[in-house]
Amino acid sequence: MSLIRWQPVSDIFEDIDDFFASGGPRRAISRTFAPAVNIRQTDDSVVVDTPLPGIDPAKVDITIENDVLTIEGREEKKSEIEEKDYSRREWTMQSFHRSVALPVAVQSDDAQASYQNGVLTITIPKREEAKAKKVSVKVKE
């Protein structure tokens, strides 16, 4: 798996190219998207927040390998929705995938995830060598 740095401005141009290359709006809106992430550190852990409103958390897969976090899932399109009733349809169920390199070494086996108000929060403990250490300095007079 290769990592690609998220660049929102260039993503806009790629989206426009994909839109016209895919044959129009119906096919372009069903492709995979990469949700935004916020990554912050506490003294003991790395915390990743990503908005996934309307997504069933049971359909989200989280993996951490070589200090790279991957979040992916798929929401199935409901077949009972009739296309003819829409004058415009921009919101559809789709798959998502996002991989990000974590800023420090982590203990992936102890990761925890929670989902509240449409936001997925993943908390991953840092490895001991990645935690900040306090060193006292003795001054000689």
Domain boundaries, the chain: 8-79+88-129
pLDDT for the residue numbered 113: 96
Under DSSP, is residue 139 helix (H, G, I), strand (E, B) or coil?
coil
Please say if the pLDDT value at position 81 is more than 90.
no
CATH for 8-79+88-129, among 3.90.100.10, 2.60.40.790, 3.40.50.300, 1.10.540.10? 2.60.40.790
pTM above 0.85, yes or no: no
Distance CA 121, CA 106 (A): 16
Long-range residue pairs from 110-115, CB within 8 A, at least 24 positions apart, any chain:
111/62, 111/64, 113/57, 113/60, 113/62, 115/52, 115/57, 115/60
Residue-wise pLDDT for 12-70, tens only, equals: 776 676 666 655 555 444 456 788 999 999 999 999 999 998 888 999 999 999 999 99
Of residues 43 and 10, more confidently modeled: 43
